Amino acid sequence: MLVRDLWHARLHGIGVVLSLAGLGLLGAATAGVIHHNPLTQFDVTLLEWLHARATPTGYVIFNAVSLVGAPRAMTGLALGGSLVLAARRQWIVLGGWVVAFAGGRLLSEFLKGLIRRPRPPYAAAFLDHYSWSFPSGHAMGSLIGYGMLAYLLVVLWTHRRTMQVPIVVGAALLVVAIGLSRLYLGVHYFSDVVGGYAAGGLWLSACISGLEVARRWGAAPPPAAPSKAP
């Protein structure tokens, strides 16, 4: 019981810190985009630098990486995870899983509609339909989706650190690669990806913290019945 309580407390504390960090970073990136501060100048400089060095092979590779973080991939991950959790009757975790994906998508659309930043000029070559640029939905969605997947694998599948560390590191590298792919393809600015990571980290940490609290309550033993006086 003590070990479990310490685990819950540590995750909750980490969640609070990450939520505050994500909120601060999101606020800074949003302010930079709205007020056109030096961050947006760096956006254009990096965009042009990458475009000048991009190759057809690079486009093929990074387009494939980008597809791993696309909305269709995230929808498939959400549905697949939901089926597995439902089959295992992990109802509390299933609820947190659904809230993480659905809430993340709604938050992304809300922020895009609120900021309404146009896409970079090179985006049309890789986009099937137009959407606003800030924050990057791929960066945000992949952080939430693969972050939740890593969390579930670490919490429900294995408790061995030799397995936990590779899972977390692998998920982090995949999310970073997806963000880089959006920059290489020229469909997002640097601050779009940063904003996506910030918003995704904020929502992911809030969901995991809430899920840990719910799991703790669900695992708590029922209160003992009052003893009757003789």
- Say how far residue 158 (Cα) sits from the centre of its chain: 21
List pLDDT tens digits, range 120-152: 999 988 887 778 999 999 999 999 999 999 999
The most distant pair of C-alpha atoms in the chain lies apart, rounded to whole Å, by: 87
pLDDT at site 57? 96
CA dist 121 → 44, 48, 56, 102 (Å): 10, 10, 18, 30
For the chain, the distance separating the N- and C-terminal CA atoms, rounded to the nearest angstrom, is: 33
Per-residue tokens: 18: 């990450």
pLDDT tier at 66, thresholds 50, 70, 90: very high
Q: Give domain limits for the chain.
A: 2-218
pLDDT at site 37? 85
Backbone angles phi, psi at 117, to 5 degrees: -90, 130
pLDDT at site 14? 65
Per-residue tokens: 25: 């970073």
Span of 5-9, 86-90, 178-182 with lowest mean pLDDT:
5-9
- Flag whether pLDDT at 112 surpasses 60: yes
Overall pTM > 0.75: yes
- Flag whether pLDDT at 108 surpasses 60: yes
Tell me the percentage of the chain whose pLDDT exceeds 90.
Answer: 63
List pLDDT tens digits, range 148-172: 999 999 888 877 778 889 999 999 9
The mean pLDDT value of the chain amounts to: 87
